[in-house]
Amino acid sequence: MNKIALSTLLLLSACFGPAPVPDADGCGAAAFADTLGMPIDDVSVPTDRPARVIRPNDMVTADYNEKRINFDVDTLGLVTDITCG
Q: What are phi and psi of 51, to 5 degrees?
A: -155, 150
Would you list the domain boundaries of the chain?
Answer: 22-84
3.30.10.10, 3.40.50.1820, 3.30.70.20, 3.20.20.80: CATH of 22-84: 3.30.10.10
| Alpha-carbon span 75 to 26, nearest angstrom | 28
For residues 74 and 80, the answer to whether their CB atoms sit within 8 Å is yes
Q: Say whether 30 sits in a helix, a strand or coil.
A: helix
pTM of the entire predicted model: 0.71
| Alpha-carbon span 83 to 26, nearest angstrom | 10
| DSSP codes, 34-79 | GGTTSBGGGS---SSS-EEEE-TT--------TT-EEEEE-TTSBE
pLDDT tens digits, one per residue of 7-60: 655 555 555 656 555 566 889 999 999 999 999 999 999 999 999 999 999 999
